[in-house]
Chains A and B, each alone.
Chain A
Amino acid sequence: MAEKFDLNEREVWDGNYAASQALRQADVDVVVAYPITPSTPIVENYGAYVGNGYINGEFVMVESEHAAMSGCIGASAAGGRVSTATSSQGFALMVEVLYQASGMRLPIVLNVVNRALAAPLNVRGDHADMYLGRDSGWIQFGAFNAQEAYDLALCAFKVAEDHRVRLPVMVHQDGFITSHTAQNVYPLSDEVAYNFVGDIVPVDDMLDFSRPVTYGAQTEEDWHFEHKAKQHKALMDSREVIDEVFAEFEKISGRKYNRVETYDMEDAEVALVGLGTTVETARVAAKELRKEKGIKAGVVAIRCFRPFPLDEVRDALEGVKSIAVTDRSSPGGAMGAFYNEVAAAMATSKSRPMVTNYIYGLGGRDLSIENCKEIFQDQKANADAGHITTDIQQFTGLRGPKLGFFKTARG
């Protein structure tokens, strides 16, 4: 039996510590990991729980992130509960095997502490790594603070291992701002947390020798398409299970999660759509603007980045006049990837609002409340003019001459 870990009703944890506590409470069997800033403490802590008898699992520190995810795949195919953590370059090194994990339908939980991708080398938070995973076939949850990093990690195991899903899940939190800032976290008791997650029931278990299985067969043009389609269908169908799990989590915690979160959107005329810690900043800006200038500003946040909730995003933004979609990743010669997804959603709306794109916060550059207010005010100007009054894509919080691209053909 594992040693008892004493918890207070309210703890002061940073996002990394919160995530590692979720791994302990879920009684993860094997963590295969390689350290990288800022995610390192998650796996260090798991290792310390093993070292001090708080958990009966095994911690394997391998020689690279590629090996970490490779090991997670081998361990997961061997039927137990598996998790790891990474960031940035480590995530990039894992990418090859991320696709293998989802293709083999293995319920691995990866805690991603979002960090910029080099060059130039940078350890701070942006969403370049998260975006790199967006076509990998994983479910992607976004936590905006330490409490959510803990809550969503517990939900992630339950979703991933559900036999209707059987897909790996990433839980994203922003590097440093979430991962290294001590915040109030209200943990569940070990018993409540474990009962919520439940025992893993293996599927196609490599250690069940009454039923030998072959993992990782090759498929060419006569089979590959059908397999990828089936995998995509499973990812799309996971939406229902995610909603169920979030509802169940609310019952035990009182904390309600939605695949799309909305704040002050009931009467909103302008909106900011964001991911990660940006959401909390934007919420403050929206509230202040409502008071200061009477601008009906609201915020839409994506909790579940994959599968992308196209319909729910559209419904949340229906009737808004001008929308700012914020991308915290260098767009690499295009509109921001998130912008493209939200704009595509709005192209199917009744109201067909204006949609603009803001690139911000690269390499950990702070996005201030003032920045958010300016973005909202741009939208208000658009709404009043009836067309986009700025470049469609703008850079926010950047030094030097104003940088922007593309003009609207309307107006």
Chain B
Amino acid sequence: MAITSIKNLKEFSTNNDRFEGAHTLCPGCAHSMIVRELMNCTDDNLVIASNTGCLEVSTAVYPFTSWDTSWIHIGFENAATAVTAAQVMHKVRKKKGNLKDNDAPVKFVAFGGDGSTFDIGFQWLSGAMERQHDFTYICLDNENYANTGGQRSSATPVGATTSTSVAGTHSYGKKEKKKDIVAIMAAHGSPYVAQLAPNKWKSMAKGFQKALETEGPCFINTVSPCCTEWKFDPKDTVGLADLATDSLMFPIYEIVNGHELNILYRPKNPIPVEEYMAAQGRYKHLFKPEYRHIIDQVQADVDKTWEMLQRREEARI
């Protein structure tokens, strides 16, 4: 069995890392926490593709690679296509019996940031999901184009300032709501989609394992707090993820076979979104009295989404 046991963290920690250090991600970056968990939760062979983005430019800068598995990067948009075509080739070569080890289990995984997932690679991802390839796509959602200096993406939340949704004397930052990527991916008929967070390591690792073990196209959106662009101290990355999940800005849940919604983390006492926002520089301007209504609006949206998720969980539809 390729999925390794993760009953507790001690047991999990006996797995050997396949994602090496001396990559050049920012200190405290959540991307590598997420990637490490994915690679550590299985001992299967992996073929991984990455879209252009922070992860890609930091882990394969010639002449170094941080990947102990097969890895490919082509462009900003096409990791899903590349890895699924590799999976098709695997199928053909296995059938023809010309693989070096014909029986070795192998999993196909694509990583993309929110820019490449929600925006520029959206069509490529949608195509790969629709074709029902057996692969897992993981979005490292830090809600902006961090690699190019922090521009707005369609994952950027309302009220955040970015270099292209600038908060100033006449603006409170991004005005448009974040795209609901999980629902869109579930609507592709995916057998497993989820939203997970690195602070909840166990549900994340189990979600990754489910996705890897599920036949067909699986999609996982992961919260990846970005100290550089969200503007918080690098040491607080896990704490920021705690605020994100406890405020329900990032509810943690999965949808199995398009209808079975399970909430994977239910904060006993959800904290106000204000508390989550206050911990980050990108929302600083919202704490002026004239923008109070924006915070209230975000809170109302979060409450509504949480209500919807709970009802869907109950209704099983």
A contacting B, Cβ–Cβ less than 8 Å:
yes
Interface residues of A (CB under 8 A from B): 29-30, 32, 56-58, 60, 62-64, 66-67, 70-80, 82, 96-97, 100, 205-210, 212-220, 223, 227
Which of A66, A73, A78, A219 neighbours the largest number of chain B CB atoms within 10 Å of its CB? A78
Bound-state Cα–Cα, A163 to B164, Å: 47
Could you write out 13 A-B pairs with CB less than 8 Å apart? Answer: A30-B85, A62-B81, A62-B131, A66-B78, A67-B81, A70-B74, A70-B82, A75-B89, A78-B93, A97-B75, A205-B100, A208-B99, A214-B70
Q: Is the interface of B mostly helix, strand, loop or mixed?
A: mixed
* Chain A nearest CB, measured from B214 CB (Å): 21
**Residues of the A chain whose Cβ atoms lie less than 8 Å from the Cβ of B74:** 70, 73-74, 97, 100, 216
B73 within 8 Å of A by Cβ? yes
* Chain B nearest CB, measured from A236 CB (Å): 23
Bound-state Cα–Cα, A170 to B89, Å: 21
Query: Cβ of B47 and Cβ of A214 under 8 Å apart?
Result: no
Give the nearest-CB partner of A32 in chain B. B85
B residues 86-131 in Cβ contact with A at 8 Å: 86, 88-93, 95-96, 99-101, 104, 106, 123-124, 126-127, 130-131
Give the nearest-CB partner of A100 in chain B. B74
| Interface-lining segment among B27-35, B56-64, B271-279 | B56-64
Interface residues of B (CB under 8 A from A): 45, 47, 49, 56-57, 60-63, 65, 67-75, 77-78, 81-86, 88-93, 95-96, 99-101, 104, 106, 123-124, 126-127, 130-131
Bound-state Cα–Cα, A340 to B100, Å: 48
Bound-state Cα–Cα, A121 to B73, Å: 33
Give the nearest-CB partner of A215 in chain B. B72
Bound-state Cα–Cα, A30 to B62, Å: 30
Residue of B45, B71, B88 touching A75 (CB-CB under 8 A) = B88
Give the nearest-CB partner of A68 in chain B. B81
Which of B47, B86, B90, B126 neighbours the largest number of chain A CB atoms within 10 Å of its CB? B86
Bound-state Cα–Cα, A76 to B85, Å: 9
Give the nearest-CB partner of B83 in chain A. A74
**Residues of the A chain whose Cβ atoms lie less than 8 Å from the Cβ of B101:** 209-210
Given contacts A30-B89, A78-B86, contact A214 B67 (CB under 8 A): yes
**Residues of the B chain whose Cβ atoms lie less than 8 Å from the Cβ of A223:** 62-63
Query: Cβ of B62 and Cβ of A77 under 8 Å apart?
Result: no
**8 more CB-based (< 8 A) A-B contacts, given A58-B91, A79-B93, A212-B70:** A58-B89, A63-B130, A74-B49, A75-B88, A79-B89, A207-B99, A213-B71, A214-B65
Bound-state Cα–Cα, A227 to B62, Å: 11
Query: Cβ of B75 and Cβ of A218 under 8 Å apart?
Result: no
**Residues of the B chain whose Cβ atoms lie less than 8 Å from the Cβ of A71:** 81-82, 84-85, 88
**Residues of the A chain whose Cβ atoms lie less than 8 Å from the Cβ of B100:** 205, 207-210
**Residues of the B chain whose Cβ atoms lie less than 8 Å from the Cβ of A214:** 60, 65, 67, 70-72
Bound-state Cα–Cα, A29 to B106, Å: 19
Query: Cβ of B106 and Cβ of A63 under 8 Å apart?
Result: no
Given contacts A63-B123, A67-B78, contact A206 B70 (CB under 8 A): yes
Bound-state Cα–Cα, A208 to B90, Å: 11
**Residues of the A chain whose Cβ atoms lie less than 8 Å from the Cβ of B85:** 30, 32, 60, 70-75, 78
* Chain A nearest CB, measured from B314 CB (Å): 36
Bound-state Cα–Cα, A73 to B83, Å: 9
Residue of A56, A63, A74, A206 touching B92 (CB-CB under 8 A) = A56
Bound-state Cα–Cα, A62 to B80, Å: 11
Bound-state Cα–Cα, A22 to B265, Å: 56
**Residues of the A chain whose Cβ atoms lie less than 8 Å from the Cβ of B106:** 207, 209
**Residues of the B chain whose Cβ atoms lie less than 8 Å from the Cβ of A82:** 89
* Chain B nearest CB, measured from A23 CB (Å): 14
**Residues of the B chain whose Cβ atoms lie less than 8 Å from the Cβ of A74:** 49, 72, 74, 81-86, 89
Residue of B70, B71, B83 touching A209 (CB-CB under 8 A) = B70
Query: Cβ of A218 and Cβ of B82 under 8 Å apart?
Result: no
Bound-state Cα–Cα, A207 to B102, Å: 10
Which of A32, A208, A209, A220 neighbours the largest number of chain B CB atoms within 10 Å of its CB? A209
Given contacts A58-B92, A209-B45, contact A73 B127 (CB under 8 A): no
Query: Cβ of B68 and Cβ of A57 under 8 Å apart?
Result: no
**Residues of the B chain whose Cβ atoms lie less than 8 Å from the Cβ of A70:** 74-75, 77-78, 81-82, 85, 124
Give the nearest-CB partner of A213 in chain B. B70
Bound-state Cα–Cα, A62 to B61, Å: 30
Give the nearest-CB partner of B105 in chain A. A209
Bound-state Cα–Cα, A29 to B73, Å: 22
**Nearest 10 CB-CB pairings of A with B:** A74-B82, A216-B73, A71-B85, A63-B127, A70-B78, A74-B85, A78-B89, A214-B65, A78-B86, A215-B72
Bound-state Cα–Cα, A227 to B124, Å: 28
**Residues of the A chain whose Cβ atoms lie less than 8 Å from the Cβ of B73:** 215-217
Query: Cβ of A63 and Cβ of B124 under 8 Å apart?
Result: yes
Which of B73, B74, B99 neighbours the largest number of chain A CB atoms within 10 Å of its CB? B74
Bound-state Cα–Cα, A76 to B100, Å: 16
**Residues of the A chain whose Cβ atoms lie less than 8 Å from the Cβ of B91:** 58
**Residues of the B chain whose Cβ atoms lie less than 8 Å from the Cβ of A63:** 123-124, 126-127, 130
Bound-state Cα–Cα, A207 to B100, Å: 8
Give the nearest-CB partner of B50 in chain A. A216
**Residues of the B chain whose Cβ atoms lie less than 8 Å from the Cβ of A217:** 60-63, 65, 73
**Residues of the B chain whose Cβ atoms lie less than 8 Å from the Cβ of A212:** 67-71
Bound-state Cα–Cα, A205 to B106, Å: 14
Query: Cβ of B89 and Cβ of A62 under 8 Å apart?
Result: no
* Chain B nearest CB, measured from A223 CB (Å): 5
Bound-state Cα–Cα, A29 to B96, Å: 9
Query: Cβ of A215 and Cβ of B131 under 8 Å apart?
Result: no
Residue of A60, A77, A97 touching B72 (CB-CB under 8 A) = A77
Bound-state Cα–Cα, A214 to B74, Å: 11
* Chain A nearest CB, measured from B184 CB (Å): 15
Query: Cβ of A96 and Cβ of B75 under 8 Å apart?
Result: yes
* Chain B nearest CB, measured from A380 CB (Å): 51
Give the nearest-CB partner of B127 in chain A. A63
**Residues of the A chain whose Cβ atoms lie less than 8 Å from the Cβ of B68:** 212
Give the nearest-CB partner of A218 in chain B. B61
Query: Cβ of A97 and Cβ of B88 under 8 Å apart?
Result: no
Bound-state Cα–Cα, A63 to B77, Å: 13
**Residues of the A chain whose Cβ atoms lie less than 8 Å from the Cβ of B104:** 209
* Chain A nearest CB, measured from B22 CB (Å): 14
**Residues of the A chain whose Cβ atoms lie less than 8 Å from the Cβ of B69:** 209, 212
**Residues of the A chain whose Cβ atoms lie less than 8 Å from the Cβ of B88:** 30, 32, 58, 60, 71, 75
Query: Cβ of A207 and Cβ of B89 under 8 Å apart?
Result: yes
Query: Cβ of A216 and Cβ of B124 under 8 Å apart?
Result: no
Bound-state Cα–Cα, A75 to B70, Å: 13
Given contacts A74-B49, A207-B86, A214-B60, contact A56 B95 (CB under 8 A): yes
* Chain B nearest CB, measured from A228 CB (Å): 12
